[in-house]
Structures are given as structure tokens and as C-alpha cells.
Structure 1
Amino acid sequence: MAHFFSGNARFSYTDFINYMQQSTFHTYACQSQQWSASQSSSSSAPVVTVVTDNPNAHIIESIISTLAEQVTCEQVYVHAMSEHLGATGICISVDRLPEHALVTQLSDKFHVEIFAQEAQPMLTEPGVLVMDMDSTVIQIECIDEIAKLCGKGEEVSAVTELAMQGKLDFAESLLQRVQCLAGIDIKHLAQIRDSIPLMPGIYTLLQHLQAHGWTTAIASGGFTYFAEYLQARLGLDMVVANELGQENGLLTGTINGPISDAQTKADTLNHLVAERQIPHEQTIALGDGANDLVMMAHAKLGMAYHAKPLVQEKATAAIRFGGLENTLFALRAN
């Protein structure tokens, strides 16, 4: 039987969710503005997932009506992870993907995450997740924090910003910034390490992935001093980063060994996939900067996190408002 939301009910989270729970799958007819229960569609169909704290009929109907200008919207259903997380995911199966510009426009208009994917990795099957560290797993850029200790914070931060936008060669800019750190006592790094603010949702994301046998790792253009600490704290399987040169307890302003750069990140993902014999369909690369794009291109799901527009455009999907746990809504869980 068809259902029609009217009046305040169209803006009610409770009314919408109560209706959606009456049946697993639904359809929405834009012209009549009516909802009805339906049969399941193919699990291989492309999907658009809307993630928000308080979905209601008005938001979802508006998004479906706008998407219908480019694609055919089929079944609508609640993502299975909604009962485990603070937000709700509403999945819309479609015949093809909408344009990136339309997804961004709708995301901005309703202040919701929207992921448009050809296919989704399976949460309940083992996979590989490789993450950037600075401004992804943690809320800071470690090199900027170290530079503040010697009064060069603004200078180094400006170079970091340009590097993350892809406007500078990463290796060259890293060496330039590291030179500024010469003479800093290693003991001061502990102050930064012990007060590192983790990114919201990182524990929740890792908890669910690790519970299902996923391999989790950091591949960073940052430093091993902090990455190895995070490996122990978060129970990660592997970390790859740059080793700061030191002598007599002081930083030398150099990097020991090869530089960990964009290609290193992709190589780390590929190494873990081969070592663990994980299919490509079960891979995620998570990052925020231009030097994460190579890694993202090698993964089935390249997830941009609060990233620059260039990175959002080239990624498979982008978290623009919420925490890292929203990555789970880009995986199939039912």
C-alpha cells in the first residue's frame, strides 16, 4: 500500500524511520510523491548513500527528485550500520551514477554525506584499509607542530598547505620543511606524541573493520616516531612513514633512507593486498591530500576525508562533514 508523507510528517525523523522499518525495500514516485514497499533489486546495482543524523521524508524525497534528472532511482533502504552508529544511512539503488557536481551540490544543500558508488566493498569479508596519518587519522600535521617548537611554525605550515594541494613536489617540500627542524631536542617530540588528538570516529571505524578480519595500516608522508605510536595505540597491522635523522639527541634536519611519498602509499596497499591475498574489491584508501590520490586510485574505495576539492573530485567518495566512522556507510553490510 502506498504511503504519503504530508505536513509536519515530511520533516519528522521518527515518522520517516518508522515507515522505512515496515519493509526492507521501498520506492518513491516523484510525480505522485508516494512511497511504497517493493522487492529487492540486484545487489550489484550502483548505489547512492545519504548519511545524516536526522533523515526525513523531505530530505530524501528532494534528493531522489533531483537525482531523477540524471538517473533512475530504484529501491530505497536503510543501511544496516545505522543501528550501530550515531548517524543513519539511506541507500538509493540507481541504474547509473550521477555526476560528481550534482552529488556535491546536494551534499552542500542538505549538509549530508552523499556517496555515489558503482560497487561497495563488503564489511563482513576480510579486506585491506590503508590510511594517511596527518589530518586523517589524527587532527594535526606533526611536522607543523614540531616546527612551532623552533619558532618556524607559520613558515612550515604554509609549505605544508601548498604540498597538500599538490602545488609543490612532495619530496622536495618535505626535505625543505625537515631542514627547518635541525637542532630540536628529540625529547620535545614526546610532548606532541602524548597529546595527539585522534580524528573523530577512528576507533569506531577500526573496531568494526578489525572485528571482521580487515588488515589496517598507515602509509604516511609523516614520521615513524608518531606512526609507530599510533600503530600500538590503534592495533594496526603495519605503518610506513619517514624516519627523522637524529644525532646526540637532536634532530639533524634530514630524513634517513628513502622518502615515503605518494607512490610508497600505493605500494603499501598493493603489498598488503598481495601478502594477505585480498581481492581488489575489498580495498580502501583513506586520505585528505593530493599525495593520497595515487593510493586512492589503486583501491576499490578511495575515500577523501575533509579534503581539498581536487581530492574530493578524484576520490570514489568523500566525507565532508562527519567523522571517519561514516566510511562504514560506504561498505555493504546487509
Structure 2
Amino acid sequence: MVVDVSKINTNLKDLILKLKEKGVELGSGISVEDEETYKKKKKLVAFDLDGTLISMETLDELAKIWGVEGKVKEITKMAMEGKIGFKEALTKRVSFLKGLPVEELEKLREKIRLTPGAQDLIKELKKAGFITAIITGGFDYFAKYVGDKLGVDYVYANKLVVKKGKLTGKFTGNIVSPKAKLEALMEIAKKEGISLSECVAVGDGANDIFILKSSGLGIGYKPKKLVKRKVNALIDSEDLRTIMAFIGNGHVRRDVIKKLERKRLE
């Protein structure tokens, strides 16, 4: 459904908030875009990993294995709600994993389950010519595995430091802040010769807000409360394939763009 709100006499922010609430209430998702944003063809889709492309939070699961679940989960919760800086939170959480054998990461990797619709979505995106990426503050041990499984073009993630077959409680990598996620997206866009306005970002937590708001379209997938307030596209369904309704380039989208052009000429 496309609605022209140009003649509605109300505060735009209030209107968008109400539209998002009702859209999620009535269906599986909603995207509120202005005309120019809607008409801009999207060419790249970047996904968060944990809680978005996969159903688990890998760091929390490692903490559970190592018996430090309570400590790590509390910091994770604070980070996702924006109450603590991402780099500080990540550093603290990883430190609790010192001594964990690498074999446990291998066991957990085998238990990873993709979010419903993820495999079909990536397949459809690739078929339609989209560039795909995983940009996560999580770890390459899991991100590369998922990326290879799905055939994703780019994977940006941090790396757990291992010594003598065990985690040292430290990590290396540049995805240590919300801004770093955006910088990774900008790097990919530059390589591919496209603009940020042609990019779509999908995520669920506070550390995704920067990249979601700076992309051509930012989609909150089953998002935390803070994210829900900040972005104009939401998916409340488990099925990631809902994204295609927002960014697909089918006849319905083309018809809507034609109607918008005709209206402008009136």
C-alpha cells in the first residue's frame, strides 16, 4: 500500500510513529519512505549477523558453554539497549572467555541455524543482481561460515585471538563501534562504485542504528525498542523474505514509481 501524506496536516514524526505501529500491528512489516528514497534503486544489502541472519547470539552462547553466561548476557543487554559503548562492552565480554578451547567454537558453529527465509532471501537478492554483505561486531569464525554457506559477497567481522588452542580473552578487528559498521559499508560501496543511498542495511540492535539511519534504507529486523523508534522500516515477522517487499524491483514497484511521476506532473 502506498499513501500520499503530503496534504495531511499533522507532525511528520508523529505520523511516521503511528504508521509504524499500525503497520506492524496489521502485517509483518512496514517501510515509510519519502518519494525520492523510494524511487532510488537499491543495489546492495548489508546484514548484521547475530539476531538477524542467524537466530542465536553467538557470544552469549559461548559464555553459556564457559559458565559465564550471566555476566556476559547482562553486558550484551546493556549494549543492545545503548546503555554502554559497544567497544567497551565487547572488550569486557570477550575477556570472560579467556581459556575457552577452540573446539567449543567448532561445536557451536555446527549448531548455527539461519533465520527463517535467510537462504531464500540471499538467493533471490543474488538472482536480482544485488551485492550482499555481512557487517558484524561478532566474529569471523561464525560470520565467514555463514557467509560461505549463503554465498555472501563481503564479510566484515572481528577475530578472536587464539593461543595454543585456547581463546586469550582478546580480539582483533575494526568493527568496534556503530560508526565502524558504517565505515565498512562505505568501503564496500566505494569498491562497487555505488552510493550509500543505493544501500540497504538490516539489523536489530543499538549498535546498528548508525548504519541503518545512514543507508538509503535501514530495516530493523525484530528490532530492540531503541531501534524501533529510530528507523522507518520494520519487520516483525520471523521471515526475512519480507525484505523483498521493500526493495524488490518488480512490476508493482515500477507501477508505483510511474504513478508518483504522473502525480508530480499534474
Q: When the two structures are superposed, what TM-score results if normalisation uses the length of structure 2?
A: 0.85
Relative to structure 1, the CA distance from residue 104 to residue 203 in structure 2 (aligned partners, 3 Å threshold; closer, same or farther) is same
Residue type matched to 1:132 in 2?
A: D
Indicate how the Cα distance of structure 1 residues 173 and 281 shifts in structure 2: closer, same or farther if over 3 A, else same: closer
Shift of 1:144: 0.5
Q: Name the residue aligned to 1:329.
A: 245
The answer on 1:94 being equivalent to 2:1 is no
Paired with 1:121 and 1:198, the residues of 2 have a C-alpha distance of: 31
The answer to whether the Cα contact below 8 Å between 1:126 and 1:212 also exists between their aligned partners in 2 is no
CA contact (8 A) 1:121 1:281 kept: no
Secondary structure at the aligned position of 2:30 is classed as strand
State which of 44, 57, 60 in structure 2 corresponds to 1:144: 60
Which of 107, 120, 123 is 2:38 aligned to? 120
Shift of 1:259: 4.6
What CA distance in whole angstroms lies between the structure 1 residues aligned with 2:197 and 2:24?
A: 29
Q: Once the two structures are superposed, what CA deviation does each residue of 1:218-258 show, in whole Å capped at 9, x if it has no partner?
A: 11010010011111101011111111011000000001244
What whole-Å deviation, never above 9, does each CA across 1:134-184 have from its counterpart, x for those lacking one? 101110111001111111112211211110111111100111000100001
For 1:6-85, list aligned pairs within 5 A: none
Q: How many Å separate the matches in 2 of 1:282 and 1:259? A: 22
What stretches of structure 1 of length at least 5 have no aligned partner? 1-90
The aligned amino acid for 1:120 is Y
Q: How large is the Cα RMSD of the aligned pairs?
A: 1.9
- The answer to whether structure 1 residue 254 and structure 2 residue 170 are counterparts is yes
Closer/same/farther in 2, CA of residues 211 and 108 from structure 1, 3 Å limit: closer
Higher relative contact order (CA 8 A, sep 6+): 2
- Give 1:284 deviation, angstroms: 0.2
**Per-residue deviation at 1:121?**
6.1
Paired residue secondary structure (1:92): coil
Deviation at 1:260, TM superposition (A): 3.4
Q: Which runs of 5+ in 2 are unaligned?
A: 7-11, 252-266
User: Is this contact kept in 2: 1:163–1:169, CA < 8 A?
Assistant: yes
Q: Which residue of 2 aligns with 1:297?
A: 213
CA contact (8 A) 1:100 1:313 kept: no
- Flag the 1:99–1:263 CA change in 2: closer, same or farther, 3 A: same
**Structure 2 residue aligned with 1:161:** 77
Range moving further from structure 2, 148-157 or 259-268: 259-268
Moved more, 314-323 or 290-299: 314-323
Deviation at 1:316, TM superposition (A): 2.6
Map of 1:218 onto structure 2: 134
Contact 2:24/2:236 (CA < 8 Å) preserved in 1? Answer: no
**Structure 1 residue 115, shift from structure 2 partner:** 2.0
Note closer, same or farther for the CA distance 1:237–1:105 as it changes in structure 2 (3 Å cut). closer
Determine whether 1:239 maps to 2:155: yes
Partners of 1:131 and 1:218 within 8 A in 2? yes
Q: Per-residue CA shift, 1:194-223, capped at 9, x if unaligned?
A: 110111111122112111221111110100
- Using the TM superposition, give the Cα deviation of residue 100 of structure 1 relative to its aligned residue in structure 2, in angstroms: 2.5
Contact 2:222 2:235 in 1 (8 A): yes
Moved more, 286-295 or 207-216: 207-216
> Structure 1 counterpart of 2:246, which letter?
A
Matches within 5 A, 1:311-322: 311-322=227-238
1:109 is displaced (CA, Å) by: 4.2
* AA matched with 1:227: A
* Partner Cα distance (1:132, 1:116) in 2: 21
Greater Rg by CA = 1
CA separation of 1:179 and 1:138: change in aligned 2, threshold 3 A = same
1:322, distance to aligned residue in structure 2 (A): 3.8
Report how many aligned residue pairs link the two structures: 242
Residue in 1 that maps onto 2:203: 287
**TM-score, structure 1 normalization:** 0.68
Which residue in 1 is equivalent to 2:50?
134
SS of structure 1 residue aligned to 2:55:
coil
- Tell me if the contact between 2:81 and 2:206 (Cα under 8 Å) persists in the aligned partners: yes
Q: Which runs of 4+ in 1 moved over 6 A?
A: none
Q: How far did 1:120 drift?
A: 2.5
Q: 1 or 2, which has the higher helix percentage? A: 2
